[in-house]
Amino acid sequence: MEDENSLVVEILHGFLGNERAHNPGRAQISFDCPVCSYDIKGLDKGDGKGNLEINYAQHVYKCWACSETNGTHGHLGKLIDRYGRKKDREMYELIRPDEFIREEKQKKKLVLPVEYKKFKDVHPVHIPRREAYNYLKRRGVTDEMIEKYDIGYCEDGEYKGKIIVPSYDSNGELNYFIGRSWNPREKFKYKNPEAPKELLIFNESRIDWSKDVWLVEGVFDGFFVNNSIPLLGKFLSDLLWETLYEKVEARITICLDGDAWLDAVKIYDKLSGGRLYGKIDIIKLPLDKDLGDLRGDVPPECYVKLEK
């Protein structure tokens, strides 16, 4: 462990230069941030501020000045891949912790199932296509939504019998998809790829941050209101919280299923502060209803005013 720590420090010296502070007991070391100093300010000698803090036992880094604006935080491997020399990257591979390798490989490898088909590419009388399509129609999903959200389906393979809805991250890269069974007798309604839901934002690529944003529970709810983010559950992840805080320019409307009112209030409390104070609306649906049931038509009396 000692050896590994000193190797990481040596690698860091190699491409970041001299440290500005170092606490070996806590495995904390700080350097001038390459992102703020070089990329932004155009300084090739660093800005002398030592804002880039690294914990080499935990293999994480964060810049106190630009982590929010430039995403300068995360696993140390990302920093070394981006700013290290070839030699630094090779040395780091020797001690790179396993769990991070696995995580990063998983992220890179996510692709849609090979059996995924678009509705428009299959003849309408073909039976599985018709079943899948009729299921969507029953839930109020229109042809425009199918087109807009890249909705497809699988008639074979691991996702056989599932409607597929892909999710793309802010760079337009696939970061998740859901597989929803169209057969009501199927025991498992959903089959989704393994991915940490708290580390992804469903279809962030489709969000216009200058407009009002809706927070909804499920992907199907999201089809019925503009500019919506499905939580894939009833909780607001820290990642989504931070992203909303940073990016939302207009208002946020929280609309969970009718049976999740208390969870909706928790999200309201979490969001309603700082620069988002006074910009959060909340909707209380009838107990047995969700946005999909209502096709996105929320009766005016469901808008609730909360004190805060």
Contact present, 292 and 139 (Cβ < 8 Å): yes
Q: Does 66 bind Zn ion (CB under 5 A)?
A: yes
Stretch that binds Zn ion, among 60-68, 144-152, 200-208, 268-276 (CB under 5 A): 60-68
Strand ordering across the sheet containing 152-154 = 117-118, 152-154, 162-168, 174-181
Q: Which residues of 79-91 are buried (b: 16+ CB within 10 A; e: fewer)?
A: bbeebbeeebbeb
Amino acid at 182: W
Nearer to Zn ion, 65 or 239 (CB): 65
Number of residues that bind Zn ion (CB under 5 A): 7
Using the contact rule CB under 5 A, the part of the chain among 58-66, 104-112, 187-195, 265-273 near Zn ion is 58-66
Q: Which residues contact 124 (CB under 8 A, 6 or more apart)?
A: 130, 133
Q: Which stretch binds Zn ion (CB under 5 A): 42-50, 71-79, 197-205, 261-269?
A: 71-79
Find the binding residues for Zn ion in span 231-260 (CB under 5 A): none
List 213's β-bridge partners, or say none. 252
Q: How far is the CB of 1 from Zn ion (least distance, A)?
A: 28
Asked if 54 and 29 count as a contact pair (C-beta separation under 8 A), the reply is: yes
- Locus of tokens 């029953």: 138
User: Nearer to Zn ion by C-beta: 40 or 174?
Assistant: 40
Nearest-angstrom CA–CA distance, 31 and 259: 50
Sequence-ordered list of residues with C-beta below 8 angstroms from that of 40, at least 6 positions apart, any chain = 66, 70
Indicate the residue among 34 and 296 with the shorter CB distance to Zn ion. Answer: 34
Cβ of residue 35: shortest distance to Zn ion, in angstroms?
4
Candidate segments 70-78, 135-143, 227-235, 267-275, binder of Zn ion by CB under 5 A: 70-78
CB-wise, 38 or 209, nearer to Zn ion? 38
- Measured between its terminal Cα atoms, the distance across the chain in Å is 49
Which region among 56-64, 88-96, 154-162, 179-187 touches Zn ion (by CB under 5 A)? 56-64
Return the residue of 72, 167, 228, 243 that touches Zn ion, per CB under 5 A.
Answer: 72
Q: Please tell me the distance from the alpha carbon of residue 182 to that of residue 162, in angstroms, as a whole number.
A: 6
| Contact track, Zn ion, 20-39, x by CB under 5 A | -------------x-xx---
Give the interface with Zn ion as residue ranges (CB under 5 A). 33, 35-36, 63, 65-66, 72
